[in-house]
Amino acid sequence: MHKIIALSAAALLALSAGAAEARGCLKGAVIGGVAGHFAGHHALAGAAIGCVVAHHHAKVEDRRARTYYKHHR
């Protein structure tokens, strides 16, 4: 039952987020879900946290790349 809920939530998240907004989220969710599963069966919490962290990291990298390109044309 938990697997069905987890897969449904993951599918809903993947379909509802836009491509630009989901950058990094899916990879972070997979890694966080696996880590959460092995750290006491907290796969959903790990997936949510992994999504947030990876999305933040992707935004920081985009900002860094834009700044570099702006100053090094």
Percent of the chain with pLDDT over 70: 71
Which residue matches tokens 């990094």?
Answer: 24
Q: Using 50, 70 and 90 to split pLDDT, how confident is the model at 64?
A: very high
Answering whether pTM is above 0.75, one says no
Q: By the 8 A CB rule, do 55 and 23 touch?
A: yes
Q: Helix %, strand %, coil % for the chain, to 5? A: 80, 0, 20
pLDDT at 40 (0 to 100): 87
Q: Report the chain's mean pLDDT, rounded to a whole number.
A: 80
Range of the domain at 10: 2-71
Token pair in block for residue 23: 């950058």
Integer CA distances (angstroms), 61 to 13, 33, 36, in order: 23, 23, 25
More confident residue, 11 or 23: 23
pLDDT at 15 (0 to 100): 57
